[in-house]
């Protein structure tokens, strides 16, 4: 309505300016004085209308700009609402997980409380145990002092025992030498008959012999030269009171060294009071005859 009035006023002003007949007609009708006063009022009103129109135009532009901003803000708010909706869904999921985790934590706390109570009970037991251990430790210290004194006495007794053992070793050594030489004498009597009976080897006597090989002196308890079916044969023997596996192995190595030095056929044997089964098996492998003192 206001815009229509403004347009009418503009048209009237335009007619008054452009159409003389219309202007004169109006003047005639209103009168010159009325025309002048009316013209002044019209001009003032026109100026006010133009100012009002300018303000309205400026307000419209501001409103348009604000409207556009509101549209942009609305779009931004819609996107924000979408993000918030998505975030709310995620938060609801996270809240559900937290609730589940909370239940788990509550159960864990209950277990921890229960475990704490058990630890407290165990702590009391440990304290009592420590008290008993402390008491036992003190008793052990007292016993250690007693043991140390006993050890001192045992050390003194051990020193006396060691002196006695050294003397005993000397006596045993002398006895072993006596037994050894006695066993060799028996071997010299028994072995010739055994060799002739079982191997058809004739040998008159055995001697103790020392052979130098590569600068090393090797001792043979029983060394004899005999004949078998007319051919010369050398007998190499070792005398041991008790013959074990390692004795056979050691004697076998000695024989291998001697064979490098001696020409002709050889016959190896070991003589003793006792022969261990393990020695018999090894002797068969090395082709060494084992003869006990009771064999004939």
Residue 158 lies in a domain: yes
Distance CA 103, CA 243 (A): 81
State the residue for tokens 């009022």: 41
| Residue 130 Cα to chain centre, angstroms | 34
What percentage of residues in the chain have a pLDDT greater than 70?
A: 76
Q: Could you report the per-residue pLDDT of 50-66, keeping only the tens digit for each?
A: 787 788 788 778 877 87
Structure-token pair, residue 126:
């440990």
In a domain, 84, yes or no: no
Dist. CA 266–CA 258, nearest whole Å = 10
**Count of the separate structural domains present in the chain:** 2
Query: Which of 16, 42, 67 is a domain's end point?
Result: 67
Token digits for 70? Answer: 């509101």
Which residue's structure tokens are 């192995």? 249
Domain end among 67, 92, 119 = 67
Q: Same structural domain for residues 161 and 291?
A: yes
Q: How far is CA 256 from the centre of its chain?
A: 53
Is 8 among the domain residues? yes
Residues 213 and 284 in one domain: yes
pLDDT (0 to 100) of residue 287: 95
Residue 287 forms part of a structural domain: yes
In a domain, 103, yes or no: no
Q: Are residues 54 and 138 in the same domain?
A: no
Q: Are residues 35 and 159 in the same domain?
A: no
Would residue 285 count as lying in a domain? yes
- The ranges of the chain with pLDDT < 70 are 30-36, 38-39, 42, 81, 91, 95, 98-99, 102, 105, 108-109, 112-113, 115-116, 119-120, 123, 126, 129-130, 133-134, 137, 140-141, 147, 150-151, 154-181
**Is residue 273 located within the same domain as residue 129?**
yes
CB 271 within 8 A of CB 250: no
Task: Answer yes or no: do 46 and 121 share one domain.
Answer: no
Task: Check whether residue 126 and residue 246 sit in a common domain.
Answer: yes
Q: Mind listing the pLDDT tens digit for each residue in 185-218? A: 999 999 999 999 999 999 989 999 999 988 889 9
β-pairing, 216-228 vs 231-239, is antiparallel
Asked if 184 and 54 sit in the same domain, the reply is no
Of 287, 200, 285, 190, nearest to 239 (Cα)?
Answer: 190
The sign one gets for the Cα dihedral 284, 289, 293, 296 is: positive
Kindly state whether residues 139 and 224 are assigned to the same domain.
yes
The count of residues in the chain is 296
Residue 151 and residue 286 in one domain: yes
Name all contacts of 116-124 with Cβ < 8 Å and 24+ positions apart. none
What domain range includes position 289?
Answer: 110-296
Same domain, 150 and 223: yes
Q: What is the rounded distance in angstroms from the CA atom of residue 204 to the CA atom of residue 286?
A: 26
- Per the CB < 8 A criterion, the answer to whether 13 and 42 are in contact is yes
Read off the CATH number of the domain in which 224 is found. Answer: 3.40.1350.10
The whole-angstrom separation of Cα 260 and Cα 193 is 28
Residues 6+ apart with CB under 8 A from 216: 257
**Residue 180 sits in the same domain as residue 287:** yes
């Amino acid at each position: 309505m206001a815009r229509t009035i403004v347009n009418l006023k503009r048209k009237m002003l335009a007619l008054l300016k452009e159409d003389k007949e219309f202007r004169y007609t109006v003047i005639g009708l209103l009168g010159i004085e009325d025309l002048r006063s009316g013209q002044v009022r019209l001009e003032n009103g026109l100026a006010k209308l133009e100012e009002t129109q300018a303000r309205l135009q400026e307000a419209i532009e501001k409103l348009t700009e604000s409207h556009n901003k509101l549209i942009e803000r609305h779009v931004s708010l819609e996107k924000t609402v979408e993000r918030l909706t998505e975030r709310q869904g995620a938060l609801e999921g996270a809240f559900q997980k937290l609730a589940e985790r909370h239940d788990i934590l509550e159960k864990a706390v209950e277990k921890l409380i229960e475990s704490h109570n058990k630890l407290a009970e165990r702590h009391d037991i440990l304290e009592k145990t420590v008290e008993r251990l402390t008491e036992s430790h003190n008793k052990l210290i007292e016993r250690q002092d007693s043991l140390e004194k006993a050890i001192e006495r045992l050390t003194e007794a051990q020193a006396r025992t060691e002196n006695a053992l050294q003397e005993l070793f000397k006596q045993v050594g002398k006895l072993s030498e006596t037994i050894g030489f006695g066993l060799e004498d028996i071997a010299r009597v028994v072995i010739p008959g055994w060799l002739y009976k079982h191997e058809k080897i004739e040998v008159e006597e055995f001697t103790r012999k020392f052979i130098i090989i590569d600068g090393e002196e090797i001792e043979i308890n029983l060394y004899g030269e005999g004949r078998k079916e007319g051919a010369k044969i050398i007998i190499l023997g070792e005398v041991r009171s008790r013959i074990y596996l390692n004795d056979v192995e050691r004697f076998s190595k000695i024989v291998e060294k001697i064979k490098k030095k001696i020409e002709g056929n050889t016959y190896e044997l070991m003589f003793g009071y006792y022969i261990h089964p393990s020695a018999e098996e090894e002797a068969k492998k090395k082709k060494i005859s084992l003869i006990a003192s009771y064999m004939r």
